[in-house]
Amino acid sequence: MDNNNNKKGFNSGLLLIAIGVVGLFFTLSDLPVVFSLMWKFWPVLLLITGVLFLPVKSLIKIILLSVTIIVACAIYAVEVKDYTRSYGNYNDNYYDNVRDDANTQLFSEPYSHDVDYAEVNVEYGAGKMFMKKPCEDLIESCNGSNVLRQTFEVRYDDDKVKVDIEMEPGLKINYNNNKYSLTLNEDAKNNSYSLALNENPVWDLEFDVGMVDMDFDFSYYKVSKIDINGGLSKIDIKLGDKWDYTYVEIDADASDIVLRIPKDSGCSIDMDSAFTNKNLEGFNKVERDMYQTGNYANSDNKIFIDIESGLSNITVLRY
């Protein structure tokens, strides 16, 4: 009995040491904790557990555990360097050409000067998403994928128009208890989706997404609301000051979120987050989970941000 207790105590001690070593690695290194990459390393937990239960000598367990941790940290370091090399470097021409072997869907709707308000709902399961510069049509949508197919529907109501860009049944992703399901494969990683809007209407935009790399520059547009639902994503959003009040709602777990707002705009952030890294440039904490810029009360243009997220990196920058 004592021998079994000693083994359990030894294994528990090794597990705590392993956790401590990983924590020390992140503390002493310059590498950021990128939660959207962490999910790739879940097999490491199985490897560590397997090592602890191996019927071998303690010295061999220590060696195997050390090798596992060192290799995992090395792979993570390479992944993060590749990630940070491209993160936030928006290039309008980067995604102009969908890869040659992709099955491309192009949607567009002519612009009518009678339209003052436009609502767009976009669904996309996985891949890269980006916003292009304003177009002459009301909307231009391009989906480059051999996996995801979309439908396109437009409904007019006086001076308002609603555009639904949805994934076809059977290709929808299961996230945040949605009713959709999608089996991802290697092709899904190469999906590419672009969106361009007319700069005249006031826009209300909603995005229901899965694991995406989203790089959206809304600074050209009059935006009243942006609603993003997703997870395990990289989200980089640039906002402008073309409209007096802009509301942004983001519900995304295990994601890396960057929001860029104009310095002259007053901004208020209500954040419901757990186990997140927060970097809020130029914000003051006014109450629990609420932050505001110093010019919030006196600014003519205001941005309201509501974020619900866990296990994420959240950065708000002012430009």
* Three-state DSSP state, 202: strand
| Residue 166 in this model has a pLDDT that exceeds 90 | yes
**What is the rounded CA–CA span in Å between residue 4 and residue 15?**
17
Q: Which residue in 259, 241, 263, 240 sits closest to 250, CA to CA? A: 259
Place of tokens 């942004």: 248
CA 80 to chain centre: 15
* Three-state DSSP state, 95: coil
Name the pairing type of β-strands 234-238 and 290-293: unpaired
What pLDDT, on a 0 to 100 scale, did the predictor assign at position 174? Answer: 44
Q: If you average pLDDT over every residue of the chain, what do you get?
A: 83
| Residue 183 in this model has a pLDDT that exceeds 50 | no
Encode pLDDT of 104-155 as tens digits.
Answer: 999 999 999 999 999 999 999 889 999 999 999 999 999 998 888 899 999 9
Within a 10 A sphere around the Cβ of 288, how many other Cβ atoms? 6
Q: How confident is the model at residue 28 (pLDDT cuts 50, 70, 90)?
A: low
Instruction: State the pTM of this model.
Output: 0.72
What's the token pair of residue 251? 């519900």
Q: How confident is the model at residue 176 (pLDDT cuts 50, 70, 90)?
A: very low
Name the pairing type of β-strands 192-197 and 139-144: antiparallel
Encode pLDDT of 274-312 as tens digits.
Answer: 888 899 989 999 999 999 999 999 999 999 999 999 889
Work out the percent of the chain whose per-residue pLDDT is above 70: 78
| DSSP run (H or E) holding 25 | helix 2-28
Cβ partners under 8 Å of residue 288, min gap 6: none
How many residues are given for the chain? 319
